[in-house]
Amino acid sequence: MDSNDIAAVLYTSGTCGGTKGVMLTHNNIIFSESNFNNELELTKEDIIFMPAPLNHATGFHHGIIAPMFLGAKVVLQSKFKSKEAINLMNSEKCTYSMGSTPFIYDILKVMEQENVRLNSLKFYLCGGAMILRDMIRKAYEYGIKLCEVYGATESVPHIFVRPDEAVELIGCTSGQAMKGVEVRIVDEHRKKVPPGTIGEEASRGPNVFVGYINDKTSTYKALDDEGWFYSGDFCVMDENGNIAVVGRKKDIIIRGGENLNSNDIRSYIAKFPAIQDEAVIGMPDERLGERICAYVVLKEGIESLDLNKLLKYMEQKKVPKRYWPERLEIIKEIPRTDSGKVKKNILLEDLKVRMKMQEELV
């Protein structure tokens, strides 16, 4: 056995349909988690609360491997429930946690509603979905440093905001690359672009996977001969090397030739008082290519919401008209993966069915 042999195969979340088996070597895993622990200054005295499933990248790497290297304690919750999670973290004196945005969103909501606190939690590492600045501020009011993390199953979180930078960098960046990992932003020809220019994020280092299992075609598309992994995510780097995630390629809605970030649209919709949860996708359109469709979950006790009412609210808030949704669908729950990412492929299929039914009624 060699340290460059395959140690694990983790599957991508398949939020846009289909999953790929990511092959990671012993060296990939050892490097990423050893450096992760060192840069966050974690010790065996730290206690992590892990709400993410252990068969996904976050749970596997940071819920099993990282604390194992330290000899530290891990507190697991088999099925995430926010109120029980708070009680568990307090009773076990957890010092930090890591997971996707929906987990901490639900935790903060319970803390606000029931006036409870997390007594020992110092910071929460948050990734996998957009993090609103208001959420970061709210977390800080409760004594929690919410630190954005960026990465992929193929290139395990290699960019993050260190806890001592959380206040200074509030909501404006995902932080800098981990030591030993190279990051660059490239154009459509994979040529490096200057600081301040939006492009695709690429990373190279001992953390980067060695290929997709039984899928050479996908491997060649994502991983070049020089070891660079092309994430498919739009990012921008500043002069200091801080990376800000602008949006995933799959998050871009192309409406009449204009690229619109669905995360920006979602951030406006999320502030509407009647909405509990939301997701935004591109709706097929013969004339414009795509239009904006919003899926929302209403707060308890609210039975309906009219699109015009939402648009009037956005007009009052001076939201640019290009970000206004053109279709509104109300559902009971936004479909998500076990790690909290929106399953946009399911919403797209649902939308196709709804649009077909609408056409048949005309």
Helix (H) or strand (E) holding 266: helix 262-269
Strands 159-160 and 145-150: antiparallel
**Six token digits for residue 116:** 């409870």
Residue 14 above 60 pLDDT? no
The b-or-e profile of 55-67 (16+ CB within 10 A means b, else e) is ebbbbbbbbbbbb
> In the predicted model, is pLDDT for residue 272 greater than 70?
yes
- pLDDT of 67: 97
DSSP letter (8 states) at residue 220: H
- Where, residue-wise, is CATH 3.30.300.30 in the chain? 256-361
Query: Residue 46's closest CA among 74, 69, 65?
Result: 74
Q: Which residues contact 306 (CB under 8 A, 6 or more apart)?
A: 328
Alpha carbons 320 and 265: distance in angstroms, whole number: 10
Beta bridge partners of 222: none
CA distance 105 to 249: 24
> Residue 202: what residue type?
A
Strands 47-50, 96-100: parallel, antiparallel or unpaired by DSSP? Answer: parallel
Give CA–CA dist 242/235, Å, rounded: 10
Query: Identity (one letter) of the amino acid at 259?
Result: N
Q: Taking the domain 6-248, which CATH number applies?
A: 3.40.50.12780
Q: Is residue 306 a contact partner of residue 282, using CB atoms and an 8 Å limit? A: no
Close Cβ partners of 271 (under 8 Å, ≥ 6 residues apart)? 317
pTM, two decimal places: 0.75
Strand order across the 289-298 sheet: 275-285, 289-298, 327-330
User: What whole-number distance in Å separates Cα of residue 192 and Cα of residue 179?
Assistant: 20
- Looking at the DSSP bridge assignments, the partners of residue 235 are 199, 245
Closest CA to 39 of 173, 161, 155, 206: 161
End-to-end CA distance of the chain, in Å? 65
Average pLDDT rounded to a whole number, residues 206-227: 96
Q: Is the pLDDT of residue 13 over 80?
A: no
Average pLDDT estimate for 203-231 = 96
- Going by pLDDT thresholds of 50, 70 and 90, the confidence category of residue 293 is very high
The third-level CATH classification (topology) of the domain covering 256-361 is GMP Synthetase; Chain A, domain 3 (3.30.300)
- DSSP structural state of residue 65: I
Supply the pLDDT for residue 299: 94
Residues of the chain with CATH 3.40.50.12780: 6-248
**Per residue in 53-98, pLDDT tens?**
898 888 999 999 999 999 999 999 988 899 999 999 999 999 999 9
Q: What is the pLDDT of residue 105?
A: 82
On whether the CB atoms of residues 106 and 83 are closer than 8 A, the answer is: no
Mean pLDDT value across residues 131-141: 82
Look at the chain and count its residues: 362
Measured distance CA(180)–CA(10) in Å, rounded: 22
